[in-house]
Amino acid sequence: MGSARGEHPEDEWAALWGRAYVEFAATEKRSWLEQQGVKFTPLVGWAERGDGRAGGHGNSVPRFHLPWGTGTGISEPFADRVRAAAADGLVTLHFRHRVDDLLVEGGAVVGVSGTVLAPDDAPRGVSSSRESTGEFALRAQAVVIASGGIGGNHAKIREWWPERLGTPPATMITGVPKHVDGRMLDIADAAGVRLVNRDRMWHYTEGIANWDPIWPAHAIRILPGPSSLWLDARGRRLPFPALPGYDTLGTLQHLRTTPDIAEFDYSWFVLDQRIIEKEFALSGSEQNPDLTGRDLGLLLRGRLGNGAPPPVEAFKQHGEDFVVADDLRALVDGMNRIGDGILRYDDIERQVLERDAEIENPYTKDLQVMGIRNSRRFLGDRLFRTVKPHRILDPAAGPLIAVRLRIVTRKSLGGIQTDLTGRALDADGSAIEGLYAAGEAAGFGGGGAHGYNALEGTFLGGCLFTGRVVGRSLVARL
Ligand SMILES: Cc1cc2nc3c(=O)[nH]c(=O)nc-3n(C[C@H](O)[C@H](O)[C@H](O)COP(=O)(O)OP(=O)(O)OC[C@H]3O[C@@H](n4cnc5c(N)ncnc54)[C@H](O)[C@@H]3O)c2cc1C
């Protein structure tokens, strides 16, 4: 609740959803998921440590749970039940049917119409053909919009970019597949559905271009441990709480609203081999073949063995945003080669030396160094995520590494306003007969259950919760 940062009048339902989600997450969420067949790894991450205030933004405890099987580990048990129902003739699946319109009669939504797209067996995440082979119309007792957010549509992101986050970057890289285009939200809007908080969004500042892309401008987000030095495009250390893994939107705001850096679309991590080996995790199921493939041997070898996990090492070798060098001068030269050539070696050296001196100071006045030590008080981080404090310039920890970090688009926090049963509302705030919304399209509940901010890892949970609520409403109604 400390993360939501206030309410405005359109948050009437969102605030109730936020509260209901927290109650669900704190009580039956885990046991309910386990009953559905979802399994969790014992690894619990400590994401989004917050802004340093006891009552402010952030996770007070590690609570980022990883399902065995990553995203598909969550979705497959549900998909299996739908497939079984389809095999029993209870469900009909209409793949390659793109909804272009809601059918509205007498104020009630009675179905959908749209375009039948040409067959395409593109793998998951790869953009598929939009060639039309015909049209369709389907009528139903109820329609549920679960069409996701707008993260794959940069034009929409720019259109709704909030003033509080400064100016949108001139270039962004994309953290979701192309089908996350927000088109269905505009279709709902045109049909009289009430959309709220469209200017609330969650994009990461630690994006790197995928050297082996699946979708256009495919970006991967680094889930960083706490030790990398974070510099702006001009080579200045970012101020607290813009530390790796602390405050996603606070950091985005800093980068986009500070006048002399807002013209740049990137910042820098400076680290060393020892840090990358333990502290770089990459988001995305294909970047975690051990967890996605439920391969315990690969997991232990990759995460506890020597060297960086293979997907991280592949980025280090092939990624266009990586510079690797044996000494700091060569590293800064490399950063200037792939950046704008404005970094001054003396500035960078001074800041690395300052930071390194504080690592050796048992008391330290450096907040990041304090955070590194605090992180190691949690056994999970000590074992898997936070490297033993050491000097970045220690030759035994080398080579040195710099990573150019760009803005990676991801989540929409606003969307279709729904009441606590998941019914979509109209402009007057009345429930629209026959229409429901769930998931990111509904702002994870009520059109923005997170408020102005969010906590890492609460998105999928909100999708599951809103989906469950809508499912139960349909059972009660139909
Ligand atoms: C790489 C990655 C990592 C993530 N990691 C995490 C994490 O660790 N924790 C977390 O909580 N969240 C995470 N998220 C976010 C989370 O996965 C999403 O918020 C969530 O999957 C959204 O689910 P959804 O069902 O609402 O929408 P989506 O999964 O986007 O599904 C929408 C579906 O609707 C279809 N659709 C859209 N428009 C139409 C139309 N007009 N007609 C027919 N079909 C249409 C789309 O094709 C798609 O199949 C991550 C997201 C990504 C991309």
- Is 457 within a domain? yes
One domain, residues 351 and 236: yes
One domain, residues 354 and 462: no
462 CA closest ligand 1 atom index: 11
Give pLDDT tens digits for 148-182.
999 999 999 999 999 999 999 999 999 999 999 99
Q: Is 411 in the pocket of ligand 1 (CB under 6 A)?
A: yes
Q: Is 176 in the pocket of ligand 1 (CB under 6 A)?
A: yes
One domain, residues 237 and 380: yes
Residue 89: pLDDT over 80: yes
Mutate which of 285, 440, 450 to test ligand 1's pocket (most atoms within 8 Å of Cβ)? 440
Q: Is the pTM of this model over 0.85?
A: yes
Give pLDDT tens digits for 383-429.
999 999 999 999 999 999 999 999 999 999 999 999 999 999 999 99
Least confident span in 284-293, 335-344, 402-411: 284-293
Residue 354: pLDDT over 90: yes
* Domain containing residue 314: 203-407
d(CA 230, CA 245): 11
Q: Which pLDDT belongs to residue 8?
A: 81
Say how many C-beta atoms besides its own lie within 10 A of residue 106's C-beta: 6
Amino acid found at 416: I
When pLDDT is cut at 50, 70 and 90, the band that residue 380 belongs to is very high
Cα(358) to centroid(ligand 1), Å: 42
The mean of the pLDDT values for the chain is: 95
* Total domain count, the chain: 2
Domain boundary among 407, 432, 461: 407
One domain, residues 116 and 246: no
Q: Which pLDDT belongs to residue 5?
A: 72
- Give me the long-range contacts of 454-458 (CB less than 8 A, separation at least 24): 454/3, 454/202, 454/248, 454/249, 454/411, 454/413, 455/3, 455/47, 455/48, 455/58, 455/59, 456/47, 456/48, 456/59, 456/64, 456/248, 457/45, 457/47, 457/48, 457/63, 457/64, 457/65, 458/21, 458/25
Q: What is the CATH number of the domain that holds 466?
A: 3.50.50.60
Nearest by Cα to 445 from 11, 14, 5, 12: 14
Q: Which pLDDT belongs to residue 459?
A: 95
Cα(180) to centroid(ligand 1), Å: 7
Question: What burial letters (b/e) apply to 220-259, b meaning 16+ CB within 10 Å?
Answer: bbbbbbbbbbbbbbbbbbbeebbbbbbbbbbbbbbbbebe
What SS3 class is residue 18?
A: helix
Q: Which pLDDT belongs to residue 342?
A: 98
Give the pLDDT mean for 268-272. 98
Distance from the first to the final alpha carbon of the chain: 35
Task: Tell the residue nearest (CA) to atom 2 of ligand 1.
Answer: 284
Task: Tell the residue nearest (CA) to atom 35 of ligand 1.
Answer: 147
Say how many C-beta atoms besides its own lie within 10 A of residue 20's C-beta: 17
Residue 261: pLDDT over 90: yes
Q: Which pLDDT belongs to residue 395?
A: 97
Q: Is 188 in the pocket of ligand 1 (CB under 6 A)?
A: no
Q: Which pLDDT belongs to residue 400?
A: 98
- Is 267 within a domain? yes
Q: Which pLDDT belongs to residue 463?
A: 98
Give the pLDDT mean for 260-281. 97
Nearest by Cα to 49 from 380, 362, 375, 289: 375
Strand partners of residue 107? none
One domain, residues 399 and 445: no
d(CA 475, CA 118): 33
Give the pLDDT mean for 45-71. 93
One domain, residues 330 and 382: yes
Cis before 177? omega within 30 = no
One domain, residues 384 and 269: yes
Q: Is 180 in the pocket of ligand 1 (CB under 6 A)?
A: yes
Q: What is the CATH number of the domain that holds 283?
A: 3.90.700.10
CA 74, 77, 82, 83 dihedral sign is: positive
When pLDDT is cut at 50, 70 and 90, the band that residue 303 belongs to is confident
One domain, residues 287 and 347: yes
Give the pLDDT mean for 22-33. 96
Residue 305: pLDDT over 80: no
- Is 424 within a domain? yes
When pLDDT is cut at 50, 70 and 90, the band that residue 456 belongs to is confident
Domain boundary among 407, 426, 451: 407
- Is 250 within a domain? yes
Q: Which pLDDT belongs to residue 43?
A: 83
- Is 71 within a domain? no
Q: Which pLDDT belongs to residue 457?
A: 84
What SS3 class is residue 88?
A: coil
Cα(169) to centroid(ligand 1), Å: 23
Give the pLDDT mean for 437-463. 95
One domain, residues 363 and 432: no
Domain boundary among 369, 384, 407: 407
Residue 55: pLDDT over 80: yes
One domain, residues 338 and 266: yes
One domain, residues 377 and 455: no
Residue 9: pLDDT over 90: no
- Is 269 within a domain? yes
One domain, residues 349 and 437: no
Say how many C-beta atoms besides its own lie within 10 A of residue 35's C-beta: 10
Mutate which of 120, 463, 464, 469 to test ligand 1's pocket (most atoms within 8 Å of Cβ)? 463
Q: Which pLDDT belongs to residue 296?
A: 87
- Is 257 within a domain? yes
- Is 362 within a domain? yes
